[in-house]
Amino acid sequence: MKQIRIGLVGAGVVGSGLLQLLEKNKHIVQNRNNLDIQLTAVATRTPKRAQPLTSLPITSDVLSVTKRSDVDIVVELIGGTTTAYDVVLSALKNKKSVITANKALLSEKGEELFRIAKENGVELGYEAAVAGSIPIIRTLRDGLASCEFEVICGILNGTTNFILSQMESENWDYSTALKKAQELGFAEADPTFDVEGIDAAHKISLLSSLAFQEKVSFSDLQVEGISKLQSVDISASKNLGYRIKLLGISKRSSAGILTKVHPTLVPLNHPLANVMKESNAVFYKTVEAGTGMITGKGAGGLPTASAVLSDLIYYSSRFGVAGSIPENNIFPKSKKSPEKENEARYYLRFSTLDKPGVLAEIAAILGKNGISIASVQQKESEKEPVNVIVVTHSAKEGNFETSISEIDQMSSIIKEKTVAIRLLENL
């Protein structure tokens, strides 16, 4: 039986989950994979959480683990892009393979780290970095390796999906749903990273790079979050036959690859619409295999730790095998498709004064910019401003940008900034 020695750096929620699984599933791993994975070192800034789960001495010197002769693979679970970068870099330079769940680090520093891993003949596994327990990285790399991708998109953040689900099912406003997510531990005290789409953007940049075999940079992405959505948007979308989801979307066209994160109206009959609460899902479309979707728990200690352990098993099996070639994760820079030329349909909510001629003025600006209206909703209200909801036909993104800018400057009738949400189509 092959024995692999691992050093764990970080014993927070996911790290503690991994410690539990290493003990609980030890015999399953041995019997199924003929592997004996031995924990030989633990470093963490939260020793109290780890102490009940291991009899090993626990150090706060995280870099010491990367230099130990009794460690074959380093597991980095501290997060962030500063100390975590130092840990991963040190481990790779000391010729130790690394397993990480750190999407931010790989999205921003991955090209450098994968190059250093290759130079040192070791590997960098990141199955747990995207979509929690969903085995999407090796699905793209192995199961769909022969396919040409047209689209990859998904619900990649459990916090925002939970908030949107609660806004719909409980008829809550955004702030109430966010507070509940924080109480349950799904959202941080400062939720910006999740609710403004940054977390999902890191993840879709990794997925798109792997799917299209071209480097999609996080810095190139257009990113919008959910903090400006109101309960009226949730209910109006449902009445129109849609459900709002925060999606990371990447698609190829003749002009290049367009990758972005934004709230999206998903038709109720699309499989992504029925992924609720903290679950995640990845949807893809390829030339050869058509469409498919994988869904599962996208957050939480044990679900994410299960993906870390899956990587440990995979890379431990490859460890020391003669002729084993490190996987290629270094891709040429992608050609970015121009956002303004992309065609889309929109849900637009205008907050206006309730007086004759308002809709005509809005329609005139949309029409001047080549945007036609498919439907209009306006409920009677005794209070101003009133919500005028317009669903458009397809037009260029640049035309919408121009129109909304012009409409929002009409201070005599427009009282709040326009809410604009794209419709999911052609996937």
- Which amino acids are annotated as binding site for NADPH, given as ranges? 103
Q: Alpha-carbon distance 260 to 153, whole Å? A: 9
> Which residue type is seen at 236?
A
- Tokens 């990285």: give the residue: 137
203 noted as active-site residue: yes
With beta carbons less than 8 A apart as the criterion, state whether 366 and 372 touch.
yes
Pairing status of strand 414-423 against strand 97-100: unpaired
At residue 121, φ and ψ (nearest 5 deg) are 70, 25
* Backbone φ/ψ region at 171: left (φ over 0), alpha (ψ -120 to 50), beta: left
> Which residue type is seen at 300?
G
**Which residues carry a binding-site annotation for NADP(+)?**
9-16
- Residue 241 structure tokens: 């036959």
**Which residues carry a binding-site annotation for L-homoserine?**
188
| Coarse DSSP helix, strand, coil percentages of the chain, rounded to the nearest 5 percent | 40, 25, 35
Residues linked to residue 100 through DSSP beta bridges, in sequence order: 76
Q: Alpha-carbon distance 185 to 187, whole Å? A: 6
Output the CA angle 136-141-145, nearest 5 degrees: 120
> Which residue type is seen at 155?
I
Q: How many helices (H) does the chain have, and how many strands (E)?
A: 15, 18
Residue 175 buriedness (CB in 10 A; 0-12 / 13-18 / 19+): exposed
C-alpha distances in Å from residue 192, one per residue of 116, 245, 278, 380: 32, 17, 17, 35
C-alpha distances in Å from residue 54, one per residue of 19, 38, 66, 196, 382: 7, 12, 19, 37, 63
Q: Alpha-carbon distance 72 to 363, whole Å? A: 65
Q: Which of 2, 67, 179, 203 is catalytic?
A: 203
Q: Alpha-carbon distance 221 to 205, whole Å? A: 8
Candidates 410, 205, 405, 409; CA nearest to 420 is 405
- Active-site residues, by number, are 203
